[in-house]
Amino acid sequence: MKKADIVSAAVTLAMDVDAETRQKIEAFCKVRGAARVVYTIDKSILGGIVIQIGDDIYDGSLLSKIDTVRQSI
């Protein structure tokens, strides 16, 4: 679904990252229609990154990977 509205991307990280990585993240979000990026630091995702833009979630967190492993064994 194409989003005409201006959306903000919610990015969750386990720890703060350097400016270069931030730039990469912001570029990624911009391509997908996000006008601005809001960062949150949340240690509970253990590692990796979760990006939410509108209804789409890009879940690259360590927590979800471990969850998948736990469910399949």
Partner 1 sequence: MVNVKEIGKDLIKKINDVRPPADDRACGKIISSGDGIIHISGLHGVKYNELLEIRGGYRALALNLEHDSVGAVLFSGEDKVGCGDFVYSTGETAHMRVGEELLGRIVDPLGQPLDGLAELTSTETRPVEFPAPAIMDRGKVNTPLQTGILAIDSMIPIGRGQRELIIGDRQTGKTAIAVDTILNQKDENVICIYVSIGQKASSLAKIVNTLRTAGALEYTSIVCSTADDPVPMQYLAPYSGCALAEYFMYRGKDVLIVYDDLSKHAVAYRTMSLLLNRPAGREAYPGDVFYLHSRLLERAAKLSEEKGGGSITAIPIVETLAGDISAYIPTNVISITDGQIYLESELFNSGVRPAVNVGLSVSRVGGSAQRASIRNISGQLRVNLAQYRELAIFMQFGSDLDAETQKMLSRGAKMTDTLKQRQYLNYSVRDMLVLLTVSQSDLVDKIPEKKIVAFNEGLLDYIRANHASLYGEIDIDKKLSEELKNKILSVAEEYINCSVGIEQSAPAAASGA
Residues that bind partner 1 (CB under 8 A): 1, 52, 54-60, 64-65, 67-69, 71-73
The residue (of 6 and 19) whose beta carbon lies closer to partner 1 is: 6
The residue (of 20 and 71) whose beta carbon lies closer to partner 1 is: 71
Other Cβ atoms less than 10 A from the Cβ of 15: the count is 8
Q: Smallest gap, in angstroms, from Cβ of residue 54 to partner 1?
A: 8
The residue (of 18 and 55) whose beta carbon lies closer to partner 1 is: 55
Strand partners, 13: 41, 49
Coil, helix or strand for 23?
helix
Q: Smallest gap, in angstroms, from Cβ of residue 55 to partner 1?
A: 4
Do residues 53 and 30 lie in contact, with contact meaning Cβ atoms separated by under 8 Å?
A: no
Residue whose entry in the numeric block shows the structure tokens 């590692």 = 47
